[in-house]
A and B are shown apart, each in its own frame.
Chain A
Amino acid sequence: MINLQEQIDLFKNVIGSQLKNKVECIAIGGSAMMFYGAKNATKDVDLVFLKEKELIAVKEILYNSGFNERKNIKGIFREDEDAGKPVMMDGKETRFDLFLNEVIGYKIHEKVIERIREVHEFGNFIVKTASPEDILMMKGCTERERDRDDAAELVRKFKIDWNIVINETAEQTKIGIAAFPILLYDFLTELRDNFKSDIPKNITKELLVIAEKKLEELKKKDQLIKVTKYKK
């Protein structure tokens, strides 16, 4: 586990100081929540890159700084198996998960970038933080218990704009995982039932409508989809 101070030290002293060119990435999950002040510590630092060469540059720096790449990554699978697999770099105290353009099927596109709330500069290393709405939706793709705790905390501390969630779900259904609304519906219902999170009922209803519409479409095309949630 690392706290915000240690995360900043890692970004500044390990990555930022060694990068020769400017590299931009988006912090998601616990890492972003720490920047927002919504969480005290995180087990893994999740970063999304938009350019492959920038991901490789950071990966190399981490490798040279004693982080080892984990090769056996299981269970991030959907229709196209290789998509969304992160590069996992294990260190003593923490692990870096480096994603390229998408997070377990959740595509990073222009609107996600527009919604960015914070920009943190560590020399050549620029870390932007994804919006709480995007973090919440990304958490919906996973099946880890601690992601539910994080998501409940997000709903408790942020004024979530549910319109963004609905619009983005429709968008992700088109460009990302077809079953995204179903995953998110399950996830939000669970949050409301088990964590007593304040999630409006009309939002889950609307998600269900989007999901049913998509399933109908897929049935007509005879395209069955296999969905397994993300487990680490």
Chain B
Amino acid sequence: MDIIGTAKRLEGLQTVDSIAKILDIDRRTAVNYVWMLRKKGFVETVYGKRKIRMYKISPLKPNKFGYSGLYEYLNKNSKIKIYAPYTNRIYDHEPTPEEMVVKAVKTGDLRTVLSSLALFNKVKNWQRLSQIARKELIGRKIGALYDAARTVIRVRKMDKKTRKALLRSNIDNNFIVKNARTKDLKQIEKEWNVYLPFNKADLEAYKE
């Protein structure tokens, strides 16, 4: 049996039923195939909603070195999941929530920014966050997003010194996401002098 060929045919996210359908075999045989593929290191099990068991199948063995990058980090720590446009790995240090928030905002992608709001609850070193944000010229954007996050999720309190430093910081432009503005969070926008990209309805996803 060509294991690599089978793995290539089944590449992606599968369930036992979908495997049985693709290979035109019964459920029991599909389970055996998963067992064989797993033995070769081609299967990773993940759980979907209602604890449905799914198999991530690839003929390529995953790289176990380093730490997961931005998208995997967000998917692990945030309620709002995102599809990773590419695989990202970090090798020189373990990524911190402080740098991941900044990285997410720097992408300028709405869903990535929205997903990163959950990381404010993980931030421990506000001074570090402020330093990185100011260096990347997004200090005020980070401040505004922190206030937006506070409207929907429980977030640790930012110390006054950091808040002041962020308020005084320079930014490259006023948009967090290019040309996107809110109708609902005007107060926060006014205080930080930046445009927030989402309305209250977008933030509802955190309440579900």
Contacts and interface: CB of A to CB of B under 8 A. Distances in A.
Interface of A: 4-5, 8, 11-12, 16-17, 35-38, 116-123, 156-159
B88 A121 contact: yes
B66 interface: yes
A8 B65 contact: yes
Contacts of A17: 92
A153 B69 CA distance: 27
A118 B65 CA distance: 14
Given A8-B65, A121-B69, A157 B59 contact: yes
Nearest to B59: A157
Contacts, number: 57
Interface string B1-23: 00010001001000000000000
Contact of B92 (A12, A117, A156, A157): A12
13 contacts: A4-B63, A8-B66, A16-B91, A16-B92, A37-B60, A37-B61, A117-B87, A118-B86, A121-B88, A121-B90, A121-B91, A123-B92, A157-B60
Interface string B78-99: 0000000011111111000000
Interface in B36-74: 59-63, 65-66, 69
Interface residues of B, number: 19
Contact of A35 (B8, B63, B93): B63
Contacts of B62: 37
Contacts of B60: 36-38, 157-158
B206 to A, nearest CB: 28
A35 B60 CA distance: 10
Q: Which of B4, B90, B92 has the most CB of A within 10 A?
A: B92
Nearest to B8: A159
A123 B93 CA distance: 8
B84 to A, nearest CB: 10
A11 B91 contact: yes
A55 to B, nearest CB: 21
B138 to A, nearest CB: 16
B89 A118 contact: yes
A154 to B, nearest CB: 11
Contact of B89 (A36, A116, A121, A159): A121
A16 B61 CA distance: 25
A5 B65 contact: yes
B86 A4 contact: no
Given A12-B92, A123-B92, A157-B60, A116 B86 contact: yes
